[in-house]
Amino acid sequence: MRKDTLIWAPWRMAYIKKANEPGCVFCKKLKKKDGPENLVLYRGQRSFIMLNLYPYTNGHVMVAPLKHIKDLEKLDTATLAEMIKLTQRMITVLKKVMRPEGFNVGINIGRVGGAGVLGHVHVHIVPRWNGDHNFMPVIGATRVMPQTLAEVYVLLKKELEK
């Protein structure tokens, strides 16, 4: 017989209240000053790097174009090149700072493709460690994050600025 467990997560209420707000979450973040509050780590000429607010693992970041573009095939060559260069740079930073044993790098396109932000194409970079899938996500559908987003932001930002 399954026994449900309650996990207290009051910080999720802000997300729940904003879930149906109009507008692009990335574009809203780009209008604010960079820092741990808006999670933007770096802005390039055509694209930017941002921590994922609801990460799969610590250090889960996204690279997206500065322009609000839905389709990968509509990105110009210079933007695509910068996004891949920033993806490469971020993997180097994550290896140095967080020492993952591997990565998942991908682009989810469309709702059925797993995209959480439908109108602004972006690349996910998810650091992985041996054993990061323990019983919590498998049995309890719960992930355990050992660091806060603010802590991860400071660590990554410091290395990106070198």
d(CA 136, CA 157): 29
Q: If you ran DSSP here, which 8-state letter would residue 101 be given? A: S
Known active-site residue 122: yes
- Side chain identity at residue 64, one-letter code: A
Cβ within 8 Å of residue 49, ≥6 positions away: 40, 41, 42, 61, 62, 63, 86, 90, 160
3 state DSSP class of 65: strand
Residues 42, 63: Cα–Cα separation, whole Å: 9
- Of the residues 68, 122, 124, 133, only one is catalytic, namely 122
Residues forming the active site: 122
